[in-house]
């Protein structure tokens, strides 16, 4: 067995009662490592959870890519594009396209006996993927809407339902202002959803595509836009470029990604990355300095042993190796407890969600947790490597210990 590693193990497992200073220092160092790793693990898990859950929600209510009219002033403006079978085939030829769905919008107003609210009626057809809305359904159902038949049914958000005191089965009247007149439509509420995305829940009512086309005086190929789901979110930029070239630079078709459509949300998510890096640096510093303090105390307490080893012929490199091995054992013990604490907290939050959030502000009703194997492994390896590297310089104190000066006082 390596004699340096053997001595390091003996030092670590020693129960010498005279070590009144180093034992508490070692425990503090292990606690610092454990706390630092646990906090870093939770920070990464929460940041990844936020980014993926919020991103998936934004994609769920629309898609990774949207095709709309180049001259459209805002997302709810009724400026149509023509989407024929040839256009759909052109889009689906682009690599990475998983699904396409058309929609049409019409700004209007809901009026009840006691109140009224502005809204946007969004028409969807049979090709629309409603799985996301099904997962966020509060009451009722999502019917199979059509682009050729008026259903007179509507799905409203829980925000509208609370403000206007609506329930499934109620009939509502909606009003739409054109250039020359005002038109009214009556719908029956068949479903209530809640995505916790304020920008969506406070705006849209869902009905069939046929009704919205008639309100806009459009033909069977005119829509407000086409939503394109990608197989992989990371390919959105490439797909946008290819679609723009396929449509032609002089066409009225404008392709934008979800990040371009709601830049403020994704800017906020990117800001989380900066916060995580700040936390990682701070916690790594706390963990490193507690281990450094423990190592220095141990070296000062073992001056006589160091002098004896030097007198017996051991060089500075060998003795430094002993104490670095010893420090590695401290770091590994602290990392073990850090992993236990961090993973337990992640598991509890993921299963029972004791830490809640205001969905109106954070888009989710509980702190999201998502920690993959690669981030977890990277945190552990990074903590171990950085902690050991931080100990290389302090261990240089051993070189300044001279056997003759030390042993003459023993």
Q: Is 408 exposed, middle or buried (0-12, 13-18, 19+ CB in 10 A)?
A: exposed
Confidence of residue 145 (pLDDT cuts 50, 70, 90): very high
Name the average pLDDT for the chain. 87
Confidence of residue 9 (pLDDT cuts 50, 70, 90): confident
Q: Which tens digits make up the pLDDT trace of 310-323?
A: 777 777 788 888 88
> Are 103 and 227 spatial neighbours (Cβ–Cβ below 8 Å)?
yes
- Round the CA-based radius of gyration of the chain to a whole number and report it: 32
User: Quick one: tokens of 355?
Assistant: 């830490």
DSSP symbols for 123-165: EE-TT---HHHHHTEEEE------SSS---EEEEEHHHHHHHT
Count other C-beta atoms under 10 Å from residue 228's C-beta: 26
User: Quick one: tokens of 328?
Assistant: 């590695």
What is the rounded distance in angstroms from the CA atom of residue 110 to the CA atom of residue 175?
A: 7
User: Quick one: tokens of 262?
Assistant: 């709601």
Q: Residue 409: is its pLDDT beyond 60?
A: no
Confidence of residue 410 (pLDDT cuts 50, 70, 90): low
Q: Which tens digits make up the pLDDT trace of 188-228?
A: 999 999 999 988 999 999 999 999 999 998 998 999 999 99
Q: Which tens digits make up the pLDDT trace of 146-198?
A: 888 999 999 999 999 999 999 999 999 999 988 777 889 999 999 999 999 98
- Contacting residues for 300 by C-beta, under 8 A, at least 6 apart: none
C-alpha dist (Å) from residue 184 to 110, 155, 156: 10, 17, 17
Give me the pLDDT at residue 131, please.
93
What is the rounded distance in angstroms from the CA atom of residue 235 to the CA atom of residue 246?
A: 16
Give me the pLDDT at residue 306, please.
75
Report field, pTM of the whole predicted structure over 0.75: yes
List 204's β-bridge partners, or say none: 120
Q: Closest Cα to residue 119, out of 70, 172, 170?
A: 172
C-alpha dist (Å) from residue 333 to 23, 32, 192, 289, 326: 14, 11, 52, 16, 11
């Amino acid at each position: 067995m390596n004699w340096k590693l053997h001595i390091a193990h003996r030092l670590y497992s020693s129960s010498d009662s005279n070590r009144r200073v180093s034992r508490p220092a070692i425990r503090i160092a292990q606690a610092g490592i454990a706390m630092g790793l646990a906090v870093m693990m939770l920070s990464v898990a929460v940041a990844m959870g936020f980014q993926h859950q919020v991103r998936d929600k934004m994609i769920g209510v629309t898609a990774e890519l949207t095709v709309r009219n180049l001259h459209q002033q805002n997302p709810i403006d009724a400026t149509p594009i023509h989407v024929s079978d040839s256009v759909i085939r052109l889009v689906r030829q682009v690599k990475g396209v998983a699904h396409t769905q058309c929609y049409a919008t019409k700004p209007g107003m809901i009026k009840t006996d006691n109140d009224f609210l502005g809204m946007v009626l969004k028409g969807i057809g049979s090709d629309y993927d409603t799985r996301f809305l099904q997962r966020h359904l509060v009451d009722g159902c999502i019917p199979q809407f059509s682009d050729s038949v008026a259903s007179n049914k509507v799905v409203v958000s829980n925000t509208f339902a609370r403000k206007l005191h609506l329930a499934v089965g109620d009939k509502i009247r909606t009003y739409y202002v054109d250039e020359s007149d005002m038109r009214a439509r009556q719908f029956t509420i068949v479903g209530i959803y809640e995505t916790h995305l304020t920008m969506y829940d406070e705006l849209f009512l869902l009905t069939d595509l046929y009704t919205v086309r008639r309100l806009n005086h459009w033909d069977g190929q005119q829509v407000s836009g086409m939503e394109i789901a990608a197989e992989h979110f990371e390919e959105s930029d490439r797909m946008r470029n290819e679609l723009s070239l396929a449509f032609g630079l002089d066409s009225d078709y404008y392709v934008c990604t979800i990040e371009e459509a709601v830049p403020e949300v994704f800017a906020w998510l990117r800001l989380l990355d900066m916060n995580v890096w700040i936390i990682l640096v701070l916690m790594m510093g706390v963990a490193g300095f507690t281990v450094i303090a423990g190592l220095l105390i141990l070296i000062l307490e073992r001056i006589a042993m160091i002098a004896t080893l030097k007198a017996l012929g051991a060089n500075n490199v060998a003795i430094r190796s002993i104490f670095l091995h010893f420090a590695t054992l401290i770091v590994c013990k602290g990392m073990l407890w850090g992993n236990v604490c961090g993973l337990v907290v992640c598991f509890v939050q993921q299963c029972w969600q004791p830490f809640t959030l205001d969905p109106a502000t954070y888009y989710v009703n509980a702190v999201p947790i998502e920690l993959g194997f690669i981030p977890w492994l990277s945190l552990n390896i990074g903590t171990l490597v950085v902690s050991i590297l931080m100990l290389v310089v302090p261990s240089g104190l051993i070189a300044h210990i001279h056997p003759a000066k030390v042993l003459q006082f023993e």
